[in-house]
Chain A
Amino acid sequence: MLMLTCPCCGVTGEETEFTNGGEAHLKRYGPGTSDLDFEAYLFLRDNPKGVHFERWRHTYGCGKWFHVARCTMTLEIFGTYEAHVTTPPQEILAKIKSRRPDWIARIPGGGSE
């Protein structure tokens, strides 16, 4: 059972206090967009073995959404950061690089690093 730190209220809590909201940094495609873009936005999700950016909500705490950078293999948490960004912040990317030197970023909305 994961331990997560909510960047909004600062509480470190057990997974049962939080709700997973799936892949992070998706771009919304509304009316006027192509079927392919809309399909990708609504249904197609990355499921990487390794570094992953996710949305979580502190459901039974402050109620706020935030982001988690996590390894889906080892469950290592590289860091949590606020919801109000479209790409992971530099310090999170640096932390991941230090822990996974071979990792090549494929950040939705951020292009390839």
Chain B
Amino acid sequence: MSNRLTTGGRLLDRARQMTFSFNGVRMKGYAGDTLASALLANDQMLVGRSFKYHRPRGIVASGAEEPNALMNMGSAARFEPNQRATTTVLFEGLKAESQNHWPSLEYDVGAINSALSKFLPAGFYYKMFIHPRPLWKHVYEPFIRQSAGLGKAPQQPDADTYEHFYAFCDVLIVGGGVAGLQAAHVAGKAGAKVLLLEQAAHWGGRAPVDGGELDGASPQAFVDRMVAELSGMPNVTMRLHCMGAGVYDHGYVLGYEQLDQAVRGAPRHRLWRIRAAEVITATGAIERPLSFAGNDVPGVMLASAVRDYLINYGVCSADRTVVVTNNDDAYRTAIALKNAGLSVPAIIDARVLPGDSALMAEAKEMGIRVLMGQAVAKVLGSKRVRGIEVCAQAGEGAVLEQIRCECVAMSGGWSPVVHLWSHCGGKLVWNKDYALFQPDLENPPTGADGLPFVTAVGCAAGPITGTDFEGLSLFDTLRGAVEATISVCERQGIRLRDMPKVPTVVEYDEEPLHPIWLMPQGAGPKLRQKTWLDYQNDVKVSDVQLAAQEGFESVEHAKRYTTLGMATDQGKLSNINGLAVLAKALKEDIPQVGTTTFRPPYTPISMGAIGGEARGEVFQPIRRTPMHGWHEKNGAEWEPVGHWRRPYAFRQNGENTHDAVMREVRNTRANVGLLDASTLGKLIVRGPDAGKFLDMMYTNMMSTLKPGKCRYGLMCSENGFLMDDGVVARISDDTWLCHTTTGGAERIHQHMEEWLQTEWWDWRVYVANVTEQYAQIAVVGPKAREVLQRLGGMDVSNEALGFMEWADGTLGGFECRVYRISFSGELSYEIAVRAGQGQAFWDALMQVGADLGIMPYGTEALHIMRAEKGFIMIGDETDGTVIPQDLGLHWAISKKKDDFIGKRGQERSHMTDPDRWQLVGLATLDGSVLPDGAYAVGSGTNANGQRVTQGRVTSTYHSPTLGCGIAMGLVHKGPDRMGEVLSFPGTDGAIYKAKIVSPVFYDPDGAKQNV
């Protein structure tokens, strides 16, 4: 059983015990534990079920590469799935649950899949769930959805907070092992602004666990000294618990910091958005598993992880541990276990070496049995290792002996962590001698200036070839870090005051590994089917071989077909072994097969961290008019329009929304209504060439408009399509004011700027967006004039201020500009006052009009009244494919102008074709309301077998004025077909019949607005 030793554990604070729970069982750990080490200390070897076959799985690794120990963590609003136990720092009260099983971790019904694994090979889903077609929707899809996904989705909004940090530095160093510390020390002493990130909870990486001597002292003493000196440098910032998540274009790097969850009120995660002139990746290496049958049984672990748990956390994974290896490094695990008084029945070394290496000799001296040239035929046990069967590596798996043990510590060599190097385009090169991919120094990631900006150092750089460097030794790691950092500083023009020294190192000389991609090398189908390559995605050696057999020759295709290295693994554990198996099956070399793409983030980061503070109210700030507060207090029901909120209707005395809208329309038509029109865009266009410019912007002629007059204008894109409309007023000889739609102010302003800056930059015109400088209120209805006359101050009679005219003046003491324009067909004044006076002016209007029945109205009443008049609305009657001619707006398109934006587009044959859908009114035969967006059907079917359509509804309302449904629509040759009845099938199954009529339902002569 795995348990806690009474002594040891360099990272533990044994004085601080902590309680946590796993699957509801209370357990104890210490401060300094990870969740994984605490689980092992409580003999919890089984931590989850695999994704596809639901096989029992235990902890394999001790860091970010862990594939199995993914947990549901927390509860309710703090619930989060797929948290890695090996990187989760234990805290008091932590609650974790294992995933992917039912009804329990110990007894999982889904494990039947494992018995069926013969029938669930690679590509099973593609093969099985294709035929027969009809089964897809009702049988296959629900089944797949049920079994898809790892962990549970949270049910509640996240209760935690997150934040973003922006950081800038000369040198960013990712990885706080000895190489990263050494690099930071060199750059820090040179005076560079340094940021040093380490994903784990402590500095120093593997060196303090792996031993050796640095500058005559222990690696821990070296790390302590480095950290102390770096802490004293004001130009160096250091962060633990902060992972370098991704490297992006031009030196942009994301860091992901996990904050102490014991601190109340602090954000949970912090996303560092870093701009670094140079990035040094000192991300170390990850140990590779070995491929033998049963290598996924709980208790089979990476040799380095067994060593980590023992030395860092005082946890022994088992009484008896067999070490299986193809390299020298795993001997350190055997030696460490023996030193702790634990039993190591044997070291199975697949290599055949001419003599003993230094580490091997030491192990033998301690009395450990070393079996050369041998391999694991099979692991015994299912939920726990019971022992192994030993065979010759060269053979097919004939069993030589059985060895009883509870833990298998495996090592297939080390792979440099090249993820960050690769994220932004750094290429890799295969190192044949060490059987690993390492950064290709000829092809580094390059920045804005085209020069390299990422440098790999330490184990992450791989053995430096073509020099006297030797492998991944501690000395070479430090020497490489010093030399690379000197180059980085020189590249940045940072002068080194004195030449940094490489520490003196005492360490073992190691014999090279022998690449072992399958154990034993002649393993038959039965063994290969139990030999896992990717634990998380349940990919076996046999699956990759099958993929190759079925023609998936590209590594990227084989990856997707088998799911090898997908999801959170991203090539950490499974990569090289899988590639080697694929290469062998394809009879190619590994570098020919290549690697899959390493994508950021290095390990998953929370969505909360990505969102940062931009949640809830601050996600997208709302724009409010000066009268917003009044509307809120007076029953406004809000409608989002762009970033604005506009009142849809004002509900009074418990009436429903529909009734409120009907009342608002009737009251405006009978008495007087107030509309907050402040959101309409207001652009000032000014300059000697402003008239010429507006003639290009609008389809109508604006240069001929007289000061004091208004004109309704249409704006098209260069493609000819209608994009905005509004009333233009000529203020003076060289100044126009252009109204835009509510959503259009910024867009149209930018549209004008774009043409002025990039096409007609020699035209003397300025454009200013003054939308928010004014509150604009429409006073609408037969009693509108009386309201204004009661306020007094300027002449608003028809003689002084006619329809489509404007005037400056005062009303009730408010300085204002009054436009006599109408979007309702009623007598109407739109009055602009300074934004700061909007509310006071609104109050004055409400007060003076009280006995005239003045009432505010919202956007729905506005829509109904404009539809009754047949006025189009951008976004209803237009959808980006409609030209003004489709809407019967020929009168607003100047024929005198040589050019305007959209004119050439409208001359294309398809646009001048009489066969287009055009605007008409639609009156239902029974007075009901047509469904919005409904299509008018014709006879027969089109080439796709769909019903032929001949028109569609663009606006549809119940008109309280006429007491029936009214609608507008675009109908094939509509204006030529007056009186024809069309059929509109609704989604409710009913067929709506409507007659084609004029779109102007109310006051066609315009008598009411022109009084």
Contact = CB atoms under 8 A, between A and B. Distances in A.
Nearest to A33: B904
B448 interface: yes
Interface of A: 1-3, 14, 21, 28-33, 35, 38, 42, 55, 57, 63-65, 71, 74-77, 83-84, 99
B202 interface: no
Interface string B750-780: 1001100111010000000000000000000
Contacts of A76: 446-450
Nearest to B166: A14
Interface stretch (B247-255, B325-333, B579-587, B917-925): B247-255
Given A55-B758, A64-B757, A74-B450, A38 B904 contact: yes
Contact of A74 (B251, B446, B719, B758): B446
20 contacts: A1-B249, A3-B250, A14-B275, A21-B754, A29-B904, A30-B899, A30-B903, A31-B907, A38-B904, A42-B718, A65-B758, A74-B446, A75-B448, A76-B446, A76-B450, A77-B448, A77-B449, A83-B757, A83-B758, A83-B761
B557 interface: no
Nearest to A74: B446
A1 B450 contact: no
B473 to A, nearest CB: 35
A36 to B, nearest CB: 12
A99 B449 CA distance: 10
A76 B905 CA distance: 36
B863 to A, nearest CB: 32
Nearest to B754: A65
A86 B718 CA distance: 20
A10 B252 CA distance: 20
A2 B904 contact: no
B926 interface: no
Contacts of A30: 899, 903-904
A35 B249 CA distance: 40
Interface string B890-910: 000000001100011101100
A83 B759 CA distance: 9
B250 A2 contact: yes
A28 B759 contact: yes
B903 A31 contact: yes
A68 to B, nearest CB: 11
Contacts of A77: 448-449
Nearest to A82: B761
A31 B761 contact: no
A24 to B, nearest CB: 9
A105 to B, nearest CB: 18
Given A31-B904, A35-B908, A74-B446, A1 B250 contact: yes
Most buried by B among A31, A55, A63, A99: A31
A65 B759 CA distance: 11
Interface in B431-465: 446-450
Nearest to A63: B753
Nearest to B251: A3
A2 B750 CA distance: 23
B757 A99 contact: no
A3 B159 CA distance: 35
A57 B898 CA distance: 29
Those 10 A-B pairs whose CB atoms lie nearest each other, nearest first? A76-B450, A65-B757, A1-B252, A3-B250, A84-B761, A31-B904, A77-B448, A30-B899, A30-B904, A31-B903
Nearest to B718: A42
Contacts of B450: 71, 74, 76, 99
Nearest to B451: A76
Contacts of A32: 904
Nearest to A55: B758
Most buried by A among B425, B758, B899: B758
Nearest to B446: A74
A31 to B, nearest CB: 5
